[in-house]
Amino acid sequence: MSPTGAAAFGISGGIGDDGRMQLHAYESATQWTWGAAIAISSALARDLEQNARARLLLSGGKTPGPVYAALSKSPIAWDRVDVALVDERWLLPDDPDSNARLLRESLIQNKAQKARLETITRAGRPFDEAIATANLHARQPAGVVVLGMGDDGHTASLFPGMVDLEGALSASSPYVGVDAGGSPGAGNWQRRISLTPAGLAPAHTRILLIRGEKKRALLDRLLQSDDATEFPARIAFTTPGAKLHVHWCP
């Protein structure tokens, strides 16, 4: 199936009307998985037609694994694709709770084994150096960025109520180190490295993957305002640049 085969429509009442967002609503998890994978793969294929390499930023968490697994079977020139992280917990890349491990086990399989995976953390790499390395790699801006959204309205590792959220939201660098202590949504992983709105802005394709009625209701709530300090996931549609494509299924 293709994304256009799914029920794709703009949301009325503000965001859909001003062209900042389009919702692709699927009836089943299978349709969502393949619809989102095809959307990502098509954007990469377009990039690869025009550029020697394509750069893809992916989120972690519990939601996107099936989409990445489907994407790994896409017949594109993966040997010309650099895959990097939207955010990472301060964990080594082989830790079962790291976002890098999720990418390795779901995406870097099948045809996508030929892609180049960049991790943010590495054994012996101090926190500040990990941030600096992420920023260095981001000098080559990503064309395609895939975001997630937590039940608390966080995206990347930008959490409601975290220390100096305002600083992270207004940072001029593509990545910042964060202390998400005090934000229950951060779970056991308070120290993190996160993409910022400045890092999101250059992407020509901006995708948000969410599932379930709870997140759909939260999305509706997000659309009522632009205040990213209340719900940082609002940066997905308030950051100037590409239209946000939300792929959702129940």
Q: Which is nearer to ligand LXAUTJHC, 21 or 149 (CB)?
A: 149
What is the longest distance spanned by two Cα atoms in the chain? 50
Which span (61-69, 70-78, 121-129, 218-226) binds ligand LXAUTJHC, by CB under 6 A? 61-69
Of 97, 109, 96, the closest CA to residue 68 belongs to 109
Beta-carbon-side half-sphere exposure of residue 169 (alpha carbons within 13 Å): 25
- 121 lies in the binding site for ligand LXAUTJHC (CB under 6 A): no
Give the one residue of 157, 190, 205, 239 binding ligand LXAUTJHC; rule: CB under 6 A: 157
**From residue 104, how far is each of 41, 92, 115 by CA, in Å?**
17, 13, 10
CB 196 within 8 A of CB 171: yes
- 43 lies in the binding site for ligand LXAUTJHC (CB under 6 A): no
Element (H, E) at 208: strand 205-211
- 183 lies in the binding site for ligand LXAUTJHC (CB under 6 A): no
- 86 lies in the binding site for ligand LXAUTJHC (CB under 6 A): yes
Beta pairing partners, 176 = 194
C-beta of 152: minimal distance to ligand LXAUTJHC in Å?
9
- 47 lies in the binding site for ligand LXAUTJHC (CB under 6 A): no
Task: Report the alpha-carbon distance of residue 78 to residue 18 in Å, rounded.
Answer: 35
CB 40 within 8 A of CB 146: yes
Give the one residue of 12, 49, 52, 62 binding ligand LXAUTJHC; rule: CB under 6 A: 62
CB 237 within 8 A of CB 220: no
C-beta of 232: minimal distance to ligand LXAUTJHC in Å?
11
- 98 lies in the binding site for ligand LXAUTJHC (CB under 6 A): no
Of 217, 214, 237, the closest CA to residue 227 belongs to 237
Q: Which is nearer to ligand LXAUTJHC, 48 or 69 (CB)?
A: 69
Q: Which is nearer to ligand LXAUTJHC, 14 or 65 (CB)?
A: 65
Give the one residue of 31, 41, 63, 133 binding ligand LXAUTJHC; rule: CB under 6 A: 63
Task: Report the alpha-carbon distance of residue 139 to residue 135 in Å, rounded.
Answer: 7
Give the residues lining the site for ligand LXAUTJHC (CB under 6 A).
Answer: 59-63, 86-87, 99, 148, 150, 157
